[in-house]
C-alpha cells in the first residue's frame, strides 16, 4: 500500500474509529540492522578508534565493521534526511543509524568503502559553507551538544537552543574533529530549567534562565488555570490565592520568594514570565553519567548569568572556551571536568578558569547545607584574600 495523496488520506472523519490500528509500538530493530551487524550481534570482542570520527569493531567471527560518525544538527529537514539516505544507499547498502547524542553513523565492512565514504562526507557543504556531515565526535574530544526546542517549538524557554548550539559548536569545532582533551567533554543545553535532556549531568551545561517573577494575568487566570495546581507547582511556596478588586479569583506571588523557575507558567498560561532583558543563560559544569572511576555527578552552577546575545552568544561561547581550555591544560588523563574540579578544589576551578564567584553560586535551596565547606581544608586564592581584607583580617 502506498502513501495516499488525498487531503485526508485514507482516514474517514465520519467514522473515526473505523479501521483504526493502535498499540503497534515501534518497528522491530532487527529489520534495520546491516547484515554485518546481524551476523555479529553479541559477538564483538573489542574496538579501536582509528582517527577522530572513525571506529572499527572486531568480532569473534573475524568480521570487522567500520563506523564513520558525523555531526548532526538534530533539527533537520526531510531533504537532509534524504541526503543521508542517498549516502547510506551509495556506501552502506541502505543502512545507517543515529547515536544517543544525535550524531549520524554510517557503517561499512571494508576499508576501501571507508575511504570513499569519508571523502564524500567531507565534501558535502551547505550553500553557506558549513559542513553537512563533519566527521568526528569520538574519543577524548567534544561531541554533539544534546539540546532542546528553544524558540523553534516550546512555550517556556528562556533562551534559544539551536542557535546557541550552533554558535558554541562553531567555536569548539576543532575539539569535535580532534581527540586532544584529557577525557570526553559532554556539553548539553536546555532552554529552561525543566532541563529536558542532559543539562543536570554534563561536563558543561548551558541553561536558559529567567530573572523576573511572572506577570499575573488576573483577568483570565480563574477561567484558564486550576489555582491549586498553580500553588502546588511552586518549589518555594511563593504563590498564594488572592482576589482581584473586581472579585475574580487569582493568585499573588511573593516576589522575594520567587526564583523564576517558571513551573507555575507550565501549569498556568496566565503567569507568563519571559523577558527580553531578564532572560539569559546559566552555565553549569562538572556533571557526568558514567560510573567510570568516580560515580555519576550532577553538574554545578558556575556562572549565574550571561545575556542572551542573539544570534551568536559571544559571552556564552567565550566562557565555555575558558572552561575547556583551563581543563585541557590542567586535568590529568582520564579526568572528566568534574573529577578535575573536585581534585583541585572548586576554589581552584574558579581561579584557573578565571570565572568570578558570586553569591548566586552558593546553594540556598532546602538541602544546601551539604554543599557548604565544613572543614578548614581550603586553598588560598585571590578570592580568599579579598574576604580576609574585607573582614579586616589582613592589611592591603
* Interface positions, 267-296, toward other proteins (CB under 8 A): 269, 272, 274, 289-294, 296
Segment interacting with other proteins, rule: CB under 8 A, options 3-11, 307-315, 354-362, 385-393: 3-11
User: Whole-number minimum distance, CB 242 to other proteins, in Å?
Assistant: 21
Q: Decide if 147 contacts 188 (C-beta within 8 A).
A: yes
Residue placing its CB nearer to other proteins in the complex, 293 or 362: 293
User: Whole-number minimum distance, CB 185 to other proteins, in Å?
Assistant: 12
- Interface with other proteins, residue 89, by CB under 8 A: yes
Segment interacting with other proteins, rule: CB under 8 A, options 83-91, 121-129, 302-310, 314-322: 83-91
Chain position carrying cell 569519508: 118
Q: Decide if 304 contacts 282 (C-beta within 8 A).
A: yes
- Interface with other proteins, residue 193, by CB under 8 A: yes
Cα dihedral 75, 79, 84, 88, rounded to 10, equals 150
Distance of alpha carbon 262 from alpha carbon 192, whole angstroms: 8
- Interface with other proteins, residue 180, by CB under 8 A: yes
Q: What residues from 195 to 254 belong to the interface with other proteins (CB under 8 A)?
A: 195-201, 229, 232-233, 235
Burial 233-254 (b: 16+ CB within 10 A, else e): bbeeebbeeeeeeeeeebbebe
- Interface with other proteins, residue 46, by CB under 8 A: yes
- Please state whether the peptide bond connecting residue 150 to the residue before it is cis, i.e. omega within 30 degrees of 0: no
User: Whole-number minimum distance, CB 383 to other proteins, in Å?
Assistant: 27
Q: What is the largest CA-CA distance in the chain?
A: 85
Residue placing its CB nearer to other proteins in the complex, 20 or 119: 20
CA distances to 9, 142, 175, 286 from 184, in Å:
48, 6, 10, 12
Burial 351-379 (b: 16+ CB within 10 A, else e): bbbebebeeebeeeeeeeeeeeeeeeeee
- Interface with other proteins, residue 308, by CB under 8 A: no
Q: Which residue of 70, 121, 169, 179 would you call a contact of other proteins, by CB under 8 A?
A: 179
- Interface with other proteins, residue 47, by CB under 8 A: yes
User: Whole-number minimum distance, CB 388 to other proteins, in Å?
Assistant: 32
Q: Which residue of 110, 115, 123, 153 would you call a contact of other proteins, by CB under 8 A?
A: 153
Q: How many CA atoms lie within 13 A of 194 on its CB side?
A: 20
- Interface with other proteins, residue 32, by CB under 8 A: yes
Q: Which residue of 64, 76, 116, 163 would you call a contact of other proteins, by CB under 8 A?
A: 76
Q: Which residue of 79, 245, 364, 395 would you call a contact of other proteins, by CB under 8 A?
A: 79
Distance of alpha carbon 33 from alpha carbon 107, whole angstroms: 10
Determine the Cα angle at 321 with ends 320 and 327, to 5°: 95
- Using only C-alpha atoms, the chain has a radius of gyration, in whole angstroms, of 26
The count of residues interacting with other proteins (CB under 8 A) is: 119
Of 32, 93, 99, 48, give the one whose Cα is nearest residue 70: 99
Q: What residues from 104 to 133 belong to the interface with other proteins (CB under 8 A)?
A: 104, 107
Q: Which residue of 74, 249, 252, 348 would you call a contact of other proteins, by CB under 8 A?
A: 74
Distance of alpha carbon 339 from alpha carbon 201, whole angstroms: 13
Residue placing its CB nearer to other proteins in the complex, 372 or 396: 372
Residue placing its CB nearer to other proteins in the complex, 157 or 351: 157
Residue placing its CB nearer to other proteins in the complex, 185 or 351: 185
User: Whole-number minimum distance, CB 115 to other proteins, in Å?
Assistant: 18
Segment interacting with other proteins, rule: CB under 8 A, options 45-53, 123-131, 317-325, 354-362: 45-53
- Interface with other proteins, residue 100, by CB under 8 A: yes
Q: What residues from 326 to 385 belong to the interface with other proteins (CB under 8 A)?
A: 333-334, 365-367
- Interface with other proteins, residue 85, by CB under 8 A: yes
Count Cβ atoms below 10 Å from residue 10 Cβ, excluding itself. 9
- Interface with other proteins, residue 98, by CB under 8 A: yes
Distance of alpha carbon 14 from alpha carbon 18, whole angstroms: 9
Amino acid at each position: 500500500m502506498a502513501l495516499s495523496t488525498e487531503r485526508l488520506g485514507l482516514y474517514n472523519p465520519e467514522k473515526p474509529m473505523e479501521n483504526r490500528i493502535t498499540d503497534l509500538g515501534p518497528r522491530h530493530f532487527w529489520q534495520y540492522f546491516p547484515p554485518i551487524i546481524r551476523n555479529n550481534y553479541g559477538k564483538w570482542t573489542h574496538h579501536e578508534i582509528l582517527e577522530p570520527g572513525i571506529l572499527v569493531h572486531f568480532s569473534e567471527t573475524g568480521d570487522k565493521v567500520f563506523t564513520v560518525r558525523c555531526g548532526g544538527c538534530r533539527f533537520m529537514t526531510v531533504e537532509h534526511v534524504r541526503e543521508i539516505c542517498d549516502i547510506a544507499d551509495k556506501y552502506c547498502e541502505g543502512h545507517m543509524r543515529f547515536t544517543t547524542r544525535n550524531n549520524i553513523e554510517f557503517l561499512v565492512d571494508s576499508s576501501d568503502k571507508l575511504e570513499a565514504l569519508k571523502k564524500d562526507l567531507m565534501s558535502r557543504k551547505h550553500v553557506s559553507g558549513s559542513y553537512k556531515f563533519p566527521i568526528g565526535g569520538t574519543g577524548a574530544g567534544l561531541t554533539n551538544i544534546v539540546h532542546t526546542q528553544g524558540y523553534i517549538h516550546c512555550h517556556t524557554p528562556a533562551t534559544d537552543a539551536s542557535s546557541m548550539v550552533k554558535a558554541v559548536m562553531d567555536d569548539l569545532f576543532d575539539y569535535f574533529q580532534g581527540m586532544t582533551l584529557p577525557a570526553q567533554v559532554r556539553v548539553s543545553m536546555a532552554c529552561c530549567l525543566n532541563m529536558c535532556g542532559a543539562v543536570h549531568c554534563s561536563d558543561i551545561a548551558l541553561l536558559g534562565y529567567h530573572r523576573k517573577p511572572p506577570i499575573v494575568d488576573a483577568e483570565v487566570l480563574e477561567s484558564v488555570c486550576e489555582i491549586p495546581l498553580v500553588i502546588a507547582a511552586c518549589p518555594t511556596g511563593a504563590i498564594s490565592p488572592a482576589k482581584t478588586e473586581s472579585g475574580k479569583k487569582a493568585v499573588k506571588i511573593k516576589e522575594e520568594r520567587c526564583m523564576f523557575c517558571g513551573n507555575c507558567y507550565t501549569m498556568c498560561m496566565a503567569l507568563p514570565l519571559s523577558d527580553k532583558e531578564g532572560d539569559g543563560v546559566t552555565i553549569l559544569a562538572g556533571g557526568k553519567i558514567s560510573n567510570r572511576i568516580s560515580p555519576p555527578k550532577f553538574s554545578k552552577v558556575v556562572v549565574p548569568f550571561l545575556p542572551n546575545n542573539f544570534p551568536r552568544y559571544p559571552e556564552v561561547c567565550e566562557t565555555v572556551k575558558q572552561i575547556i581550555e583551563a581543563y585541557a591544560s590542567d586535568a590529568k588523563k582520564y579526568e572528566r571536568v568534574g573529577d578535575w574540579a573536585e581534585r583541585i578544589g572548586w576554589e581552584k576551578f574558579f581561579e584557573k578558569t578565571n570565572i568570578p564567584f558570586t553569591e548566586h553560586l552558593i546553594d540556598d535551596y532546602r538541602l544546601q547545607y551539604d554543599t557548604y565547606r565544613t572543614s578548614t581544608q581550603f586553598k588560598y586564592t585571590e578570592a580568599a584574600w579579598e574576604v580576609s581584607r574585607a573582614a579586616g583580617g589582613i592589611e592591603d
